[in-house]
Chains A and B, each alone.
Chain A
Amino acid sequence: MASCKYSWPAANERHLIGKRISRIDGPAKSSGRAKYTLDINLPGMLFVRSLGSPYAHAKIASIDTSEAEKMPRVKGIQLMKRAGDEVQWAGDQVAAVAAETEEAAEDATRKIKVEYQELPFLVNEADLNHAKTAGRTRIATQEKVGDPDKAFADSDAVVHEGYYGIPVIVHCCLEPHGHVLQWTGPQNLRCYSSTQSVSTLPSVFAEAMNIPANNVEVISHYMGGGFGSKFSMDLWGSAGAQLAKQTGRPVKYLLQRAEEMEVAGCRPSGFARIRAAAQKDGTLTAWESDCWGTGGPSPSGVLPIPYVLTNIPNRVRNHTFVMTNIGPARAWRAPNHPQACLLTMSALDDLADKLKMDPLQFFMKNADLAPENLGKVYREELQKAAELAEWSKYWHPRGDKTPGHLKRGLGLSIHTWGGRGHVSNCQVTIEADGSVTCELGSQDLGTGTRTVIAIVAAETLGLPVDAVKVKIGDSRYPYDGSSGGSTTVGGVSPSTRRAAVDARDQLFAAVAPGLGVSAGQLEAVGGRIQVQGDASKSLTWKQACRKLGARKVQAVGKNPGECMLGSSGVGGAQIADVTVDTETGVVKINRMVAAQDCGLIIDMKTAESQVYGALIMGVGYSLFEEKVMDPLTGRMLNPNMEYYKFAGIGDVGELVVHMMTGPGYDERGVIGLGEPPVISPGAAISNAVANAIGVRVPSLPLTPERVLAALEQKGEMA
């Protein structure tokens, strides 16, 4: 690796990379100086509110906006549907109103008269037979390997059969979806967007508005989370741009919380009847799954099960898409993986129980069924997680025998993700006064992207982190990929490294003659440019830059690019430690342990922070979250943060995070991390509950109602 022009510094040469460094925008964020899209207020700006359909499935007969137009302070109305269009979920937007105040806009939406013809809806996909009768299913092609029938029939096989489920949930990003839109000229549009995709949005807006793409500027300096739901302009982007044009005023169009929860994305559900078989020694031999789920009105992805241990020699998978009116599917942090993980790891944990095997041993034994030689990684991570969770002390066979109504249990799960870096272009500029700037059309979703870029540049130039100014979140900067699929850190780190190395080498070339050496003999460390091995021949950074005179140094680094600086494919193991009150069914998390790899870690602190966040989000969807749909009206009954329950800090227990580093990990280069740690909590917590109370609660979320029902079925309600 060292022979290649670009490489990461060896462990003993890293001054910043891998250290615990606080995010550089922390003070701006915590003091409120950081301006999110929601905080943008422009002179003369109007506020937009939309009218959504009260029906889950209906055809629009007519829309009459005449009364709304006459309302005080109303400046413009845009239709988002036409007569004849169908709405496929409740809340689907029909029209948007721009007015001088939010209240006036909202009041006016209620004066728009829409006639609907109600159509039959389906919002309960857990009941597959019901969905079939309603003609709402489509069967995906069967995938089959080996001879599962024979393997299940083997007299030596221990077979487990079970049913599992995970419901539709929503993203509920802290900052709602939306834009502030301003026409800066007849053909020029500026969009302040809460987006995961600064560089790609201009062309989308341009096409919708029929203007040149280079006339559109998209700005997202700070962003309050997207989790996969904020890649596009969306209906509210085009309607907002139209309203701004129509009224000649900037408009602010951010979704209301209820609206966001109804229309801005659903994580598809997953339900499955699963059979799994192993030999008596625990070796997995066969898998069979009949799976179904919904991604809204059109088919979504087939869940990748069996998950992680994909190479079970005999396996067959059937999948049925259920088309519903619950809402539109959008990528949700690790699309399809949390569902696949819950279904697979619950079934395998149940099989381990049937085998009377410690699941830790069972998963260790079968880890090599994972692709890409991840088996070794899993064994190391399981070992580490077990150590941190005190598995040998607290694990017991199913059913805590301690007297009383409080039962404690441990459960584990493993997961995987790709995370290869996306396309990235970083421009590094070194000025003659010594200032350093990195410019990328990337965005920081709250993950620490800005900080990671500063660390890579500073490390390369031998400077402290605060000597580097990072400019991102603006489409005028060099093109960068969307932040999806955990691809950002693996994209921006290599491009920044390559740019910084090239810029540094240009600076070396400028100062080498003065030091009487060749550029190749120089190094940048500790704020100095010096001759390698002879620190007496050196210049301070400022002195060195002054040699540039009237010039400045500029270099663009690309990803993908020359030399391997990143790769793909991570594992991860998690253990949940829970206590269940068997009289009330209330589950409390004692501790969540995560052992996670992601190649070379740039900032240990923001990396750990991703895992903490994922564990919190994971506890939320395991215990509380569910898009509750009304069987009578097809509407979402809990589009608020009261009944759509989230984990608070008192609900998540102790969070223990261990990042895997060192030999075997660092040399893989930088790999993404945002998504993988949110995959396992559902399965780990479900397995821990089963371990505590001695019976599987088949579906998430693990509510008191469901826990009590499972206990009752087992005939063991206290």
Chain B
Amino acid sequence: MQPFEYASPTSRSEAVRLLSPRWGETEALAGGTDLLGLMKDYVCTPKRVVSLKRIADLRGIHLVPGKELRVGAMTTYRELTENESVRRHFPVLIQAIERIRSEQLRNMGSIGGGMLQRPRDWYFRLGYGLLPEKDGQAMIANGDNRYAAIFGNSGSASWVSPSTIAPALIALGARAALYGPRGLRVIDLDRLFTTPAQPGEREHTLRPNEILTEIIVPHREGIRSAVYEVRQKEASDYPLVLAAVTLELRGRSIRSARVILGQVAPVPWPSHEAESALVGKTLNEETAEAAGEAAVTHATPLSMNRYKVQLTRVAVKRAILEAA
């Protein structure tokens, strides 16, 4: 690990001042469960690490019933799962977090760090960058892509967005509050994620000298939601594919639906096809199956990950049935 300067500011404005306007020079530190590994592997080699731990107003969970849930970016997964109002009003978040089957990660990992964790792609982690290429060829498409994207994968960045919580949050309509030198901006959470196309770009729209301060989740009664993850094993592992679904029903009829797929694209992937297949339909097994089928109509699997198309079909179907 390269020597670095460690800063531990107590206010967000100080933190932002300590962060460089260029990627690569500084990194914000939350729980460190991802960043430290990246630094040990020389994938990230910041000259300065800016810890956010002492900034008091980045923590905390506030629910205004019928309006919104505000979660400070430095709130740990554990704090979320132990919060009674989150348990009562957002069971889908609890469901998603509890599937991160590692006590240590839930103790240390923060919700902000979860959104901003870096891709798990093995080429990226071995130091080939976010756009891994060899002799001008995309490494993922031509190499071992068993875990890679089946949507949005035409470029070199055809790894998958890692967070298993982001899809559920996006399905719930969450927004992200970002604080930078020019103050606060609030964006839809799905806009935090992007697919890098040029060297030097990252997979988040967060600017290098911005920090994520809060996740804001609208609270509406009567929304049904569920996450279905296809996991090969129980112990600390990422799912192969997941689907997060929110449904608004009138009787058994679906008024509106959001279907966000995880582990299938470089960003959390909204499946408009699945959503259209649901709206106006009666919620039953047949509808769920049709939505699963619709979700994969435009899938473009790579040489080794065709099975993920089938897993996506099933995840969507099962998430819908579970939400019902």
Residue contact B1 to A703, C-beta cutoff 8 Å: no
Taking a contact as CB atoms closer than 8 A, the residue among A632, A649, A704 that contacts B232 in the complex is A704
Query: CB within 8 Å of A: which residues of B?
Result: 1-3, 42, 101, 120, 122-123, 125-126, 134, 137, 139, 142-144, 146-147, 230-238, 240, 304-305, 307, 310-311, 314
Distance of B320 from chain A, by nearest CB (Å): 14
Residue contact B122 to A633, C-beta cutoff 8 Å: no
Give Cα A647–Cα B238 distance, bound, in whole angstroms.
14
Q: Is A280 an interface residue (CB 8 A)?
A: no
Query: Given A584-B311, A705-B307, A717-B310 in contact, is the A635-B126 Cβ separation under 8 Å?
Result: yes
Residue contact A583 to B314, C-beta cutoff 8 Å: yes
Q: Is A106 an interface residue (CB 8 A)?
A: yes
Give Cα A630–Cα B127 distance, bound, in whole angstroms.
14
Chain A 256-275 interface residues, beta-carbon cutoff 8 Å to B: none
Residue contact B234 to A650, C-beta cutoff 8 Å: yes
Query: Given A584-B311, A584-B314 in contact, is the A624-B232 Cβ separation under 8 Å?
Result: yes
Taking a contact as CB atoms closer than 8 A, the residue among A106, A637, A647, A650 that contacts B122 in the complex is A637
Give Cα A584–Cα B310 distance, bound, in whole angstroms.
7
Q: Is A628 an interface residue (CB 8 A)?
A: yes
Query: Given A583-B310, A709-B307 in contact, is the A703-B142 Cβ separation under 8 Å?
Result: no
| List of A residues within 8 angstroms of B307 by Cβ | 585, 704-705, 708-709
Q: What are 20 residue pairs bridging A and B, where the CB atoms are less than 8 Å apart in the complex? A: A103-B3, A624-B233, A630-B144, A632-B134, A632-B142, A633-B143, A635-B126, A637-B123, A640-B125, A643-B147, A645-B237, A646-B235, A647-B233, A648-B233, A650-B235, A651-B233, A651-B235, A704-B311, A705-B304, A708-B310
Give Cα A717–Cα B1 distance, bound, in whole angstroms.
48
In the A-B complex, the 3 residue pairs with the closest CB atoms:
A648-B235, A650-B234, A705-B307
Residue contact B235 to A637, C-beta cutoff 8 Å: no
Query: CB within 8 Å of B: which residues of A?
Result: 103, 106-107, 110, 583-586, 623-624, 628-633, 635, 637-638, 640, 642-643, 645-651, 703-705, 708-709, 717
| List of B residues within 8 angstroms of A648 by Cβ | 101, 233-236
Give Cα A649–Cα B143 distance, bound, in whole angstroms.
32
Give Cα A649–Cα B237 distance, bound, in whole angstroms.
13
Residue contact A584 to B230, C-beta cutoff 8 Å: yes
Looking at A110, A631, A649, which has the most chain B CB atoms within 10 Å of its CB? Answer: A631
Looking at B126, B142, B240, which has the most chain A CB atoms within 10 Å of its CB? Answer: B126
Taking a contact as CB atoms closer than 8 A, the residue among A103, A624, A637, A649 that contacts B126 in the complex is A637
Give Cα A260–Cα B236 distance, bound, in whole angstroms.
21
Distance of B236 from chain A, by nearest CB (Å): 7
Give Cα A633–Cα B237 distance, bound, in whole angstroms.
25
| List of B residues within 8 angstroms of A629 by Cβ | 144
Give Cα A645–Cα B307 distance, bound, in whole angstroms.
18
Distance of B307 from chain A, by nearest CB (Å): 4
Residue contact A106 to B240, C-beta cutoff 8 Å: no
Residue contact A631 to B311, C-beta cutoff 8 Å: no
Give Cα A643–Cα B237 distance, bound, in whole angstroms.
8
- Closest-by-CB residue of A relative to B230 is A584
| List of B residues within 8 angstroms of A585 by Cβ | 307, 310-311
Residue contact B1 to A106, C-beta cutoff 8 Å: yes
Distance of A382 from chain B, by nearest CB (Å): 30
- Closest-by-CB residue of A relative to B303 is A631
Taking a contact as CB atoms closer than 8 A, the residue among A107, A649, A705, A717 that contacts B235 in the complex is A649
- Closest-by-CB residue of A relative to B146 is A705
Looking at B3, B101, B305, B307, which has the most chain A CB atoms within 10 Å of its CB? Answer: B307
| List of B residues within 8 angstroms of A631 by Cβ | 142-144
Taking a contact as CB atoms closer than 8 A, the residue among B144, B234, B314 that contacts A628 in the complex is B144
Residue contact A642 to B120, C-beta cutoff 8 Å: yes
Looking at A629, A645, A709, which has the most chain B CB atoms within 10 Å of its CB? Answer: A645
Query: Given A583-B310, A633-B134 in contact, is the A638-B122 Cβ separation under 8 Å?
Result: yes
Residue contact A586 to B122, C-beta cutoff 8 Å: no
Give Cα A480–Cα B123 distance, bound, in whole angstroms.
46
Distance of B269 from chain A, by nearest CB (Å): 19
Residue contact B233 to A645, C-beta cutoff 8 Å: yes
| List of A residues within 8 angstroms of B1 by Cβ | 103, 106-107
Distance of B132 from chain A, by nearest CB (Å): 9
Residue contact B101 to A642, C-beta cutoff 8 Å: no
Give Cα A708–Cα B314 distance, bound, in whole angstroms.
12
Query: Given A632-B134, A637-B144 in contact, is the A704-B234 Cβ separation under 8 Å?
Result: no
Distance of B108 from chain A, by nearest CB (Å): 16
Residue contact A107 to B311, C-beta cutoff 8 Å: no
Give Cα A585–Cα B309 distance, bound, in whole angstroms.
12
Give Cα A158–Cα B322 distance, bound, in whole angstroms.
48
Distance of A220 from chain B, by nearest CB (Å): 28
Residue contact A704 to B143, C-beta cutoff 8 Å: no
Distance of B323 from chain A, by nearest CB (Å): 18
- Closest-by-CB residue of A relative to B139 is A632
